[in-house]
Structure 1
Amino acid sequence: MKNINKRLQGVVPWQLTYTENEETGYYQVSQTVGKKSTLRGVKELSTGEKNVIALLYFLEKLGETTIQTSTSPKLIIFDDPMNSNDSDMQYLIITEMQKLYQGKQRERFDHQKDFIVIMTHNIHFYLNVPPYGAFEDKNGKTKYDKSDFYHLRQGSFVQITDAKRDMQTNYDALWIELGDLAKHGYTNSMLNSMRRIIETYIEFTGIKQDEFYRNNEQYLKLFNVNSHSAIDEFSAQSFTESADELVSIFHRIFADNHAEAHFTAHWKNDNAVKH
């Protein structure tokens, strides 16, 4: 508990306390506002706060497993540890994961015999948590030589073997997501991905929305209204475009903005919609 409080200091406005009576012991959350301190139950914490406590507790418990199985390798699996966490918690988790695989605490993880598997849907986490960075070491080895990276696409594991095949930014991931949705014909979800891509593109380039959609104003409504149809199906406008037709529209909008090369660079050949 002391170690968990130390790691959460400065990230959350509370700390864990432990109370014991003749019958049992239990944890509480202590928070001080001004000169007044209050106690509340752990169950009152948010899902994200509970998740990060569980993760830190799990990391502490890893040290005990070494005592029990000192000669056997450990397989440590993290299933989307970033779920339900805000940005401060995300950086905390990234830091703790990096400390773990760097082997600074051998009782938790010994890189000479143990294994770590990390699964995530969070692109920001994926881009920041891998070891070794993007550079080559003195032997010309990169992170792709020292660890295995896979992207789950179309129900299959695709190994990422170099930086050219890897996702560089969240923006790249949006294009990959759009390609996968197009192959499955998920047109409503395609509209949502297209809207997010355009929002990112015009924010980065400084183009005004009205200028970007000039001569294509009808598609502004298509992307912005129908992309929210999962929330309120009655507010969505009916549309009949197929996945192929939506891709053609998307292509034309970029071409009309003298950005066809940008579209072509991100819409890879393997994204071609199957007929």
Structure 2
Amino acid sequence: MSDWSPLHDAAIHGRLLTLRNLINQGWPVNIITADHVSPLHEACLRGHLSCANVLLSHGAQVNGMTIDWRTPLYNACINGSQECVNLLLQYGATLHPESDLASPIHEAAKRGHVKCIESLAAYGADIDYYISHLGTPLYVACKNQQLDCAKKLLQLGASVDQGKGLDSPLHVVARLFSGELVHLLMDFGANAYAKNAEGKRPVELVPLGSPLFESFLEREGPPSLMQLCRLRIRKCFGIRQHHKICGLLIPEDLKHFILHL
């Protein structure tokens, strides 16, 4: 254990040659600070792929945890480095660590890192992974107004109505007055009549007479037959199987409609 080592310094600044020399001199790759921060944590936090690769190839612990439960994978999701995420996953990084205080997929959703979400999902991450104090990744993306992440999670098959307790993703975006996210969620079949813990529907969280309020009113009533068909087809394909829609013998425009492209 060390407060801060030359190995940490080389990793955080991406000094690959220095890192190699230090390892060859006998510096242990799993040396940690008092807070249990390893050189691998620092390399991933800054997105230094080559440094992370060298550390892992010399036996760095891929699932090492800091005292606040952060793993190298979590740090890579903070940075948004898909390359580091992929490398860590190849070395067996845990998708859902034992503590809910530092969830990689929630962090990626919070920060708008779509590519990281794609990689995590490809390796089997639960896109509806629920954490009591955070909710689902979709809820986190909506709460932080990360439109692209919300769309990617929905395209991957995330549950559109599962949020945080009784607060749905549609509730949180209505509260934030985010029109684009409201329309996105409703296109994916969000329940506009769901009530939160206060007994309020999403429409009751927006100002009366506002454009967003009018949008909610326009969506009242049953969905169109075309929308119902789209939602049904997507449901039949299930989570993370939507790429198979591309193989359907239907017109390209219809495929794009089903895929929300």
Same fold (TM over 0.5): no
Higher helix share: 2
Q: TM-score range by the shorter chain?
A: 0.3 to 0.5
Kindly name which structure, 1 or 2, has the bigger radius of gyration based on alpha carbons.
Answer: 1
Higher strand share: 1
TM-score by length of 1: 0.33
